Chains A and B, each alone.
Chain A
Amino acid sequence: MLEIKDLRVSYGQDVILNGIDLELGSGETLAIVGESGTGKTTLGLSIMRLTEGTVRGVIRFNGKDLLALSDNEMQQIRWSQIAIVFQNANNVLNPVYTVLNQIMEPMVEHGLKSRDEARDRTAELLRYFGFPRDRFSAYPHQLSGGEQQRVLLAMAMANNPELLILDEPLSSLDAASRTEIGNLLRETDKHGAKLVVTHDLDTVSKLADRMAVLYGGKIIEAGLTRDVFSRPRHPYTRALIRAYPNMTTVKDLQGIKGRMTRPVSGCPFHPRCTQVIDICRTKTPHLVWSEGRHIACHRGGIITLLSTKNLTTSFGSLKAIESVNLHIEAGETLALVGQTGSGKTTLAKTIMGLHQPTEGDVYLENTKVDNRGKDFYKRVQMVFQNPGESLSHRLSVLEAVMEPLDIQGIGTDEERKERAIQVLGEVELPQTRNFLNKYPHQLSGGEMQRLAIARALVLDPALLIADEPTAFLDASIQAKILKLLLNLQEQRGLSMLYITHDIAAARKVSDRIAIMLDGRVIEEGPSNEIITAPKQGYTKNLLTAASALHSTESSGIEQQTLNSQ
């Protein structure tokens, strides 16, 4: 019904939309998602031909190219066949009309209905959207934000338009009204198409079956809402979901590094992307169909950084780990949870080549790792369980952080020193001469752990394996270290294999959780699913035993069952 081809909109020099392609059939709802400034409102306005910018491309509506129509013809289509609900309700409602007149007006004006019919239809619509009857003759300034929104929706639906464009339809509403209006909108007019333009992921999940993510004037990912939410493929989509407070994900909120900049050569997201390669800077990726999703990324979306296939390590007849299959995507945290002796550290050390696997392989970016040379260790680094042990007591702070650079032979001595000091700053350690000359035994536990993290980061690895990085620290310092790791992930796109016995800590930092028992991975999945719907009995036990703070004497489980009864 609606087909947009290579739509380009610019205001003078500023290119707002840069080649948008999309299709929308009858009865479908498509959500366009993006941060403010990505051009999503412009897209809605362009379809209505209400932008002041230069519009190029094709917008075909029921076979007619809207951009080729005369102003008069367009006027016929506007409101009657395509309606828009504006973002800012305040400016759209005419302050001198009452609610009832406000909505009746376009119907009568288009000559579609008589005054009486129009009044009935208006009352019906207002009631439908839950607008109180006794307020029909109120003026816009007398309405609350929620009421205004209801009026606008009623107004847009007045002529049963075939295409309804909704710009942030739920943003001004409270949670209860959101759900109510969301449901109404879903039910309304199942034959017409809806285009929802929003930055709000909750709105998307409430209204749209399909979604397209807009960034820098281009669609970078599009697919079924369910699929995109459960497994975002573009780094930007994932970052957007991570930044959105909701009741589904359990990880702490993370922002997206940097700001949106325009214009950008190459991929619009590359200045903020954490898996940039050369081509991203020079060539704009096209939106291509792959594995049930449209995606515009030179790397085919988020890459799989490291994976293990049937990895088995035996010590004599004891299989410390057995047939472990795991994968870690770029920029994500996989938490490996299990009790002591379940083989977590053995797995980490096998990946690092500190133990020889008896069977199976490790793959780095889908290439089998045979001999781990300096190249491998430049990409994959590990923070060991006990920082005091893993730091040589003979090396000062500066020497310790410089050691990986020395071994790898990177840069001159001066450059190494500079880099080491810079990394110390990143992990929030002092950079004073006094501190640089300290020895590990002069540091506190938290400082040692930060130092160990700095040392692992100095090579700028893509994957950090953190083996119980907070096991020796008190809760307050643990919190700081975990925050630090999350920030590093945000800034550098660091992938992490976070090893812990503490599922409570794991859920705060991880995107996915793998549960290990007796050398095997018994359960693996998105953190929220593992936490809320564990499949294995052992996982349930872990969750029951996990730290919980209750003021009453009864345990957490009893408390919950009481509440649910």
Chain B
Amino acid sequence: MHIDLKKEIKESGPGRAGLIILLLMIAVALLAPVIAPYNPYQQSTASLLPPSWNHWLGTNQVGQDIWSRLVFGARTSLLVGFGVGILSTLLGTIFGVSAALLGGLYEKVVMRIVDAFIVIPMIIVVILISAYIRPSILTLILLLSLLSWQGGARIVRAQALSLKERGHVAAARSFGAHHFYIAWRHIVPDLGPVLLVDFIYSVRRAVFMEAGLAFLGITDPTVVSWGMMMRDALSFSYLNVWQWWLVPTGVALSLTIIGLTFVGHAAEPVIEPRLRGAEVA
């Protein structure tokens, strides 16, 4: 029962690589004002400049420094990613655990809602809604969270159903404990690994969704975003700007998603020990 998450991630090669990439991205996002040489919104007349010492990755069609925009883009991407990750995991936990513990009609209703949401193609719904309301970052986080907690809730409920049959949960009930105490002290702590994996995949999905929506141009246009940068770059595809505009943005987005995938993949054996290779004693 004692599975060391840290050990699990550290011991896998991709897991370690993913973790390094992720930490690097987070560092860039946090230190963006220090790293970026220019204000990403600052315009100059010198548009579409090729890379130079002043502008490492040149400038875009309105003369904004592409490197600075790339650095600030990490903020948006990770903010949406982690925001959705936290919120949807939280919702998933609340609904999953409560459904498992309370049971009865409540459980049926919650799980049918979950089923319904899982059937609906999320991307299309998000695109449609975004196209209408042009969400700000906060709205986007809320929107994505509301549409993505269901998968987690399903896993959490399944796990909690098995956890609540554990002896120590029965023991706690036999001391007169109520549902909330049992959930908080006995179920959620044991859900830790599952929640982490759910969280990482939620983050990944949100990063991807945010970039996609921005690429379609249906998010807040005043926010620097990798997706939007790629869209802008593409409209100048007849020039050779793609080399320093499109490629670095694409690489940054890919790296982030790869990093998350690696970490998630390395953490997965935690919830499903059968995925582990034969252990060398």
Contacts and interface: CB of A to CB of B under 8 A. Distances in A.
Contact of B176 (A377, A392, A393, A395): A377
Of the candidates B168, B173, B177, B189, the one having the most CB atoms from chain A within 10 angstroms of its own CB is: B168
A373 B168 contact: no
A382 B186 contact: no
B176 A374 contact: yes
Contacts of A384: 167, 170-171
B219 to A, nearest CB: 42
A354 B173 contact: yes
B174 A354 contact: yes
A386 interface: yes
B166 interface: yes
Interface stretch (A296-304, A401-409, A532-540): A401-409
B186 A373 contact: no
A378 B167 contact: no
B166 A377 contact: no
Interface string B172-188: 11111100010001100
B189 A394 contact: yes
B167 A390 contact: yes
Interface class of chain B by DSSP: helix
Nearest to B170: A354
B2 interface: yes
A5 interface: no
A174 interface: no
B34 interface: no
Contacts of B251: none
Given A407-B181, A441-B2, A391 B168 contact: yes
B1 interface: yes
Interface residues of A, number: 31
A234 interface: no
Contact of A376 (B1, B170, B176, B181): B176
A403 B175 contact: yes
A467 to B, nearest CB: 10
A389 B176 contact: no
Contacts of B171: 382, 384, 390-391, 452, 455
A373 B174 CA distance: 10
Given A386-B167, A389-B166, A390-B170, A407 B186 contact: no
A459 B175 contact: yes
B2 A382 contact: no
Interface string A322-358: 0000000000000000000000000001001110000
Place the interface of chain B in its size category: 10 to 19
A408 B189 CA distance: 21
Nearest to B166: A389
A249 interface: no
Nearest to A465: B174
Contact of B186 (A349, A381, A392, A408): A392
A376 B172 CA distance: 14
A478 to B, nearest CB: 20
Given A384-B167, A391-B168, A393-B2, A404 B175 contact: yes
A404 B166 CA distance: 17
B172 A408 contact: no
B175 A352 contact: no
Contact of B175 (A385, A386, A394, A408): A408
A478 B177 CA distance: 30
Contacts of B189: 394
Nearest to B1: A393
A245 to B, nearest CB: 37
Nearest to A391: B168
A118 to B, nearest CB: 76
Contacts of A441: 2
B168 A389 contact: yes
Contacts of B173: 353-354
A221 B2 CA distance: 58
A377 B175 contact: yes
Contacts of B185: 392
Contacts of B186: 392
B167 A407 contact: no
A455 B92 CA distance: 33
A352 B176 CA distance: 10
A389 B167 contact: yes
Contact of A408 (B1, B166, B170, B176): B176
Contact of A377 (B1, B2, B174): B174
Contacts of A349: 170
Interface in B144-176: 166-168, 170-176
Nearest to B181: A407
Interface string A409-430: 0000000000000000000000
Interface of B: 1-2, 166-168, 170-177, 181, 185-186, 189-190
Given A377-B174, A384-B171, A385-B167, 6 more contacts: A354-B173, A373-B176, A377-B176, A382-B171, A382-B174, A404-B176
Interface of A: 349, 352-354, 372-374, 376-378, 381-382, 384-386, 388-395, 403-404, 407-408, 441, 452, 455, 459
**Would you list the 6 A-B pairs with minimal beta carbon distance, nearest first?**
A389-B167, A390-B167, A377-B176, A404-B175, A374-B176, A392-B168
15 contacts: A377-B176, A381-B174, A381-B175, A382-B171, A382-B174, A384-B171, A385-B167, A386-B167, A389-B166, A392-B185, A394-B189, A394-B190, A403-B172, A403-B175, A407-B177
